[in-house]
Amino acid sequence: MALSWRSWLANEGSKHLFLFFWLSLNVWLFWKTFLLYYQGSQYYYLHQMLGLGLCVSRASASVLNLNCCLVLLPMCRVLLAFLRGSQKVPSKKTRRLLDKSKTFHVTCGVTICIFSVLHVAAHLVNALNFSENYNEDFLALNAANYRGEVIMSGLVPGLTGVIMVLVLFLMCTASTYAIRVSNYDIFWYTHNLFFVFYMLLMLHVSGGVLKYQTNLEEHPPGCFNPNKTLQDNMTVPKTVEELLPGYNTEPFPEDLSVPEPFVQNSFMRICSEEPKFQSHFPETWFWISGPLCLYCMERLYRYIRSNKPVTITSVISHPSNVLEVRMTKDDFEARPGQYVILHCPRVSALESHPFTLTMCPTDTKATFGVHLKVVGDWTERFRDLLLLHSNQDTEILPIFQQRRYPKLYVDGPFGSPFEESLNYEVSLCVAGGIGVTPFASILNTLLDGWKCYKLRRLYFIWVCRDIESFRWFADLLCMLHNKFWQENRPDYVNIQLYLSQTDGMQKIIGEKYQALNSRLLIGRPRWKHLFGEIAKCNRRKTIGVFCCGPSKISKILHKLSNSSNSYGTRFEYNKESFS
């Protein structure tokens, strides 16, 4: 399929427009600050001493201030959930832009790393120029005490800068995909060093090494001061000697004005006093104090909201190392598609992980639940604490047989793109393996009632490697299928299950799941053909495409959503991404 500009603008337009605005702001801020230090009269002597290193260091610092301010905002999960779920953001396109918060956070983080390198390199040049261009005429301006002095090691900005670079290096390297997959603990602990980074940043800007001239009217940059005595061993400029052969180097009396010939000299401006310099008031405070306070207030609110442990009602062990935890909590409300963050102190005192809700509380039931796949140290320890050593792990144990579960704290809920799946008339939901969890809460919600939502047709596609995985939600799919058949709406949910392996299929799929037999297909979906059939059946409609699964499937769906079709159907692509 060829690219459709209409679909591309719907899927990518707002994202690229926002990116262009952010990039333009960075470029404008860099160039504005560069010109200020390159041409500004108050920085004339400082620029003469440091050269372009001054301009680059200050311009990169401005970009760092901006991005250190913005990088915290996408991590304000409560604020994003409020904006997504309220009428404050009525536009669906704007709400979909909020789904890119994690991408924007990463973009700001990469920008901070790049401009930090540029900032450090420029300041190394400045340190060298301070030492090499040492001038006794400007002792207040120069950070060095003598020519050839190594100055960076003894200054607060230098020491805090070195530590900040080390912290940033740890955070950057631990954020790579390889480390996050192999050892999530390293990523989690190093990323929480951001608080140390911001505290050091506050100290870093308080050194006052770079100074500007304060008496520009009394001492225009580059002017000549006739009142300067000979004790500094300075000679009169040649231009003045030629103009005034009888010039006396004695200082003018204080009660006399400067002679007219000096003032009228077009080659040399005359000043009445020496330049005076003063350190800047730190600007970084203005940039980061607001977002940092907002983030800290949100973390405090989240801590207060989640300080009461939930009551675990049941734990179910499913095939393929999947654990289901059902729980209750007073005054807990959530919308389909949202996720929560679980924290179990007995597993880890500080570490916590996000999990999508597979069951949301309703007016008639307070129970909510999550499904988690046991793939790492945290989930393994969590499973061992929850499950009894029994051969009947798959059964819900009666209350009197249950062990005393460890304390579990729930932070959330938080918003995700899948909240929008019920706001389309037609939605296409594609899951890969455990990626089915965001759709489970949506299917459970439809089971309770569907007429109050805008959704009128749902295409649900689930791709798994082994047949056992379908048992996670086979009962739910069967109940949903039977419900719509009884209500004479068999076309409301179109279920397609794809299996890449056939071993054990006949043993698992039997009469109990007869409704799923005809919907079980071997192999992988023919995505292009599938999109064409959906577009044909839903002419001139806007279809929401939601994907949670491997990146390969996501890329294919993303590309097809931007492709054109002959039926006037538009696909709007959404992807699950924890922020």
The predicted-structure confidence for 21-41, as pLDDT tens digits, reads as follows: 999 999 999 999 999 988 888
pLDDT band at 15 (very low <50, low <70, confident <90, very high): confident
359: enclosing H helix or E strand:
strand 353-359
List of residues 6+ apart from 367 with CB closer than 8 A: 313, 326, 327, 328, 359, 361
Q: How many Å apart are CA 304 and CA 442, to the nearest integer? A: 29
Most confident of 106-120, 273-287, 406-420: 106-120
pLDDT bucket at 125, cuts 50 / 70 / 90:
confident
CATH T-level assignment (fold) for domain 308-388+405-414 = Elongation Factor Tu (Ef-tu); domain 3 (2.40.30)
138 closest CA partner among 295, 335, 286, 277: 277
User: What confidence tens digit (pLDDT) does each residue in 439-462 have?
Assistant: 888 888 888 888 888 888 899 999
Amino acid, single-letter form, for residue 296: C
Share of the chain above pLDDT 90, in %: 17
505-513 long-range contacts (CB < 8 A, ≥24 apart) are 505/467, 508/467, 508/468, 508/470, 508/471, 509/467, 509/470, 512/478, 513/470, 513/474, 513/478
User: Is pLDDT above 50 for 323?
Assistant: yes
CB neighbours (10 Å) of residue 376? Answer: 15
DSSP letter string, 382-451: HHHHHS-S-S-TTSPPPGGG---PPP-EEEEEE--GGGGGGGSSEEEEEEEGGGGHHHHHHHHHHHH--T
Per residue in 172-197, pLDDT (tens digit) is 998 888 888 777 778 888 888 898 99
Q: Tokens 């530590």 sit at which residue?
A: 163
Residue 578, pLDDT > 60, answer no
Structure tokens, 344: 């179990």
Q: 237 preceded by cis ω (within 30°)? A: no
Percent of the residues in the chain that have a pLDDT greater than 70, as a whole number: 80
Pairing of strands 570-575, 277-279: unpaired
Q: What pLDDT, on the 0 to 100 scale, is given for residue 105?
A: 92
The most confident of the ranges 57-66, 392-401, 472-481, 570-579 is 57-66
pLDDT at position 268:
59
Q: One-letter amino acid identity for 293?
A: C
Radius of gyration of the chain (CA): 33
Q: Would the pLDDT of 111 be above 90? A: yes
420-576: CATH number = 3.40.50.80
- Between 173 and 230, residue with greater pLDDT: 173
* Residue 116 backbone dihedrals phi, psi, to 5 degrees: -65, -40
Rounded Cα–Cα distance for residues 463 and 433 (Å): 6
User: What's the mean per-residue pLDDT of the chain?
Assistant: 80
Most confident of 87-91, 107-111, 508-512, 513-517: 107-111
Lowest average pLDDT, out of 96-100, 199-203, 552-556, goes to: 96-100
User: What are the residue ranges spanned by the domains of the chain?
Assistant: 26-155+207-214+277-297, 308-388+405-414, 420-576
